[in-house]
Chains A and B, each alone.
Chain A
Amino acid sequence: MTTTTASAEAPGAHDDHGSHHVLPLWLLLGTWAALMALTLLTVGSSQFDLGAFDLPIAMGIATVKAMLVLMIFMHLGFDKGFHSLLIFGSLLFVFLFVSFVLIDRGQYQPSITAMDQQKLMQGN
């Protein structure tokens, strides 16, 4: 039972995308170290004013961290492709949702700003 793949003795193991893949300890600890290093990096980078690059850099680092968690901690890199399809597919829908709303809001923002101005003028 202490072999690396427990699936070897499970009857009818379905495919080679071992659902029972055991992660080696060095990989777990290495991932943890990388995540910690990236956390320090993102905190460090936020101390400098990088102008328009602030947000993309912070999001880029967060995405690298997210990929590490997904692929290694969550076994996605060793798992059935369909699970990856599910989770990345869901991100596509999130993207659709957020981007459509952003496009629309960006378009009608000027009229809101105008209304706000009007409200201010009346208030004063």
Chain B
Amino acid sequence: MSDAHGHGDKPFLAHHFEDEDHQFDAGKLGIWAFLVTEVLFFSGLFCAYAIYRSMHPDVFQFAANALDTKWGAINTAVLILSSLTAAWAVRNAQLGQKGLLCLNLFVTILCAFGFMGIKYQEYSHKFHYGIYPGKDNFAPMEGAFGDYKAEKVAFVVPGDDSTQDGEAAASGGAGEEAHAGDDHAAGDEGHEVLVKWDDPNIDPILKDKLKIFFGIYYCMTGLHGIHVLLGILVFMWLLSRAMRGHFTPTYYGPIDYAALYWHLVDLIWIYLFPLLYLIN
């Protein structure tokens, strides 16, 4: 920049800090304060989630059938691995292990790309079945919700004792029975009934809530995904600096801060995974 920032012998020490420790501590406090803003940034989505889930647990339970637990779990593992490599990279930087540092940063970036690849796969799978964010184009097709048991779903099969929301279920009308015939009315075990989204008997109020679930799902995972993408950019920048040998045991702040950010992204996913994928 135009101002002469930096001390002659220490290229990365800004002029207004006394020494490298001073700069490191300031940066560390700064990144923690930033993480606080991130926590509150996501809190709005968690709040919306809590509201709609607590009011309509049955809808959430049903909707989660459209999410693939297997891929969610794999993505969790991928992120946890990248968290490990990020934390390891900090250790490498502290110890001046340039080769290992570059390797760990590289693996972190690789994991992040892997995460986004799987996310892309999941999104396109949902789009394929007509599950889009938003009201107008939301039209799930047959099979969108996997092989759930229709008996469990309050707003598709009315009147039985598995419903948690009596009023809503009572208003659900004839529901799916018309399509399914009398097969499961006799209590056949495991007989699967597919929901036809355009069935006029499905409670429209609860249909709206289903759309809202996916609105929340796309906002939460989308915003999280944007954070992953930003993380990729940051780690690429760090990798290029690490390869040029910028980081030393006395100057490794950026690695530490980026790792903290990355762990927070991981933390948020640690909560998103059970909240979205593991509802039963």
Other-chain contact of A7, B21, B55, B69 (Cβ < 8 Å) = B21
Other-chain contact of A6, B22, B94, B167, B271 (Cβ < 8 Å) = B94
Expressed in whole angstroms, the Cα–Cα distance for A32 and B195 within the complex equals 41
Q: Determine whether the beta carbon of B20 is less than 8 Å from that of A10.
A: yes
Please classify how large the interface on chain B is, using the bins under 10, 10 to 19, 20 to 34, 35 or more: 35 or more
Expressed in whole angstroms, the Cα–Cα distance for A86 and B95 within the complex equals 28
B250: chain A residues at CB < 8 Å are 6, 9-10
B205: chain A residues at CB < 8 Å are 116, 119-120
Expressed in whole angstroms, the Cα–Cα distance for A91 and B90 within the complex equals 26
Which residues, 1 to 49 on A, are CB-close (under 8 Å) to B?
Answer: 1-2, 6-7, 9-14, 19-20, 22-23, 25, 28-29, 31-32, 35-36, 39, 42-43, 46-47, 49
Expressed in whole angstroms, the Cα–Cα distance for A13 and B271 within the complex equals 36
Expressed in whole angstroms, the Cα–Cα distance for A72 and B263 within the complex equals 10
Closest to B57 in A: A55
Q: Determine whether the beta carbon of A120 is less than 8 Å from that of B270.
A: no
A43 to chain B, nearest CB (A): 5
Q: Determine whether the beta carbon of A109 is less than 8 Å from that of B274.
A: no
Other-chain contact of B69, A1, A46, A87 (Cβ < 8 Å) = A46
Q: Determine whether the beta carbon of B32 is less than 8 Å from that of A97.
A: no
Residue with the greatest number of chain A CB neighbours at <10 A, chosen from B84, B248, B270: B270
Q: Determine whether the beta carbon of B51 is less than 8 Å from that of A102.
A: yes
Q: Determine whether the beta carbon of B80 is less than 8 Å from that of A87.
A: no
Q: Using CB atoms and an 8 Å cutoff, list the residues of chain B in contact with chain A.
A: 18-22, 24-25, 28-29, 32-33, 35-36, 39-40, 43, 46-47, 50-51, 54-55, 69, 73, 76-77, 80-81, 83-84, 86-88, 90-91, 94-96, 167-168, 171, 173, 203-205, 248-250, 259-260, 263-264, 266-267, 270-271, 273-275, 278-280
